[in-house]
Amino acid sequence: MNYKQIAELISKSKKKTPSKVYIQGNFNEESFKGQGFQAFGEGSFWILIGDYPLIERWVKKNRDKINNHYVEITARYSALPLLDLKKVEARIEPGAIVREGARIGKGCIIMMGAVINVGAEVGEKTMVDMNAVIGARAMIGKACHIGAGAVIAGVLEPPSKKPVIIEDNVFVGANAVVLEGVKLGKGSVVAAGAVVLEDVRPGLVVAGVPANVKGRVEDVSQKEKISIVKSLRKK
C-alpha cells in the first residue's frame, strides 16, 4: 500500500472503541444474544467485550437489573486494531504496540514501548529497542538494530511517496531520527542522536544534526558498540 491507500483505509474504516465491561447482575446467555458483542460468565457475574457504544446501549436498557458495573476502555474511535500476535514468530515484549498491517519477521525482538505502524516491515532477527517508533510503510531489513527512542519516519503526515528503507545489518543509535524517503545502505551506522536527512551509502558511519559522514564502519574503534547479540534472537 502507498500512503494514499493507507490514509483511505483509515479514513473509511469503521471507528471502534474496544472495551471490557464487568457486570454484576443475574443474567443468562439469552440476555446478550444478538447484541453485537461477546459475553462471558454465568449467574451474577459477566464480562462483556466489544465496541463500547453497543455495550453502553445494552447497559442502559438493563440498568435496573445491574447491581454494579465497571468499564475498561482500551482505545477511543480506533481506526485499525492491533496486530494479532498469535501469528507472529518473534519476541514481542509487554507494552509494545504493533498495528494491524505491519509485518514482523521471524526471530525479531520488539521491546517495551516500541511502536510499529501500519504497513511497516521489520526483517528477520532485527531488534526494535525500547520506545523506538517505526512509521507507516518503513522498510527495515534483516539483523538490524533500531536503538531506544529512535524515530523512523512514516509516510502519512507529512505525506511522502517514498518510505524509509533500511537495508540489512544497519545499526541505528538511540534517539536518532531518520526522515521519510531516506535510504540507509547495507551495514551502515547512524550514531546516537543523529538526524538523517539524506541517503547513506553502504558501510558508512554518519553522525550529527544534520548527519554527515564520519568514516567507514571498519574504522570504528569500539566495534562492540555496533554488534548484535545473536543469542537474543532465539525464541
What type of residue sits at position 67? N
d(CA 85, CA 93): 11
User: Three cell numbers at 151?
Assistant: 524515530
Q: What is the reported pLDDT for 6?
A: 86
Q: Considering the entire predicted model, what is its pTM?
A: 0.85
In sequence order, what DSSP letters do the residues of 166-234 get, joined into one string?
E-TT-EE-TT-EE-TT-EEPTT-EE-TT-EE-S-B-TTEEEETTTTEEEEEGGG-S-GGGG---GGGG-
Contact 161, 180 (CB under 8 A): no
The residue extents of the domains of the chain are: 14-73, 85-233
* pLDDT tens, residue by residue, 108-125: 999 999 999 999 999 999
| CATH superfamily label, 85-233 | Hexapeptide repeat proteins (2.160.10.10)
* pLDDT tens, residue by residue, 166-210: 999 999 999 999 999 999 999 999 999 999 999 999 999 999 999
Q: What is the reported pLDDT for 225?
A: 61
User: Does position 224 have pLDDT exceeding 60, yes or no?
Assistant: no
Burial status of residue 79 (CB atoms within 10 A of its CB: 0-12, 13-18, 19 or more): middle
Q: How confident is the model at residue 235 (pLDDT cuts 50, 70, 90)?
A: low
Fold topology of 14-73? Alpha-Beta Plaits (3.30.70)
> What number of residues does the chain have?
235
User: Three cell numbers at 24?
Assistant: 454484576
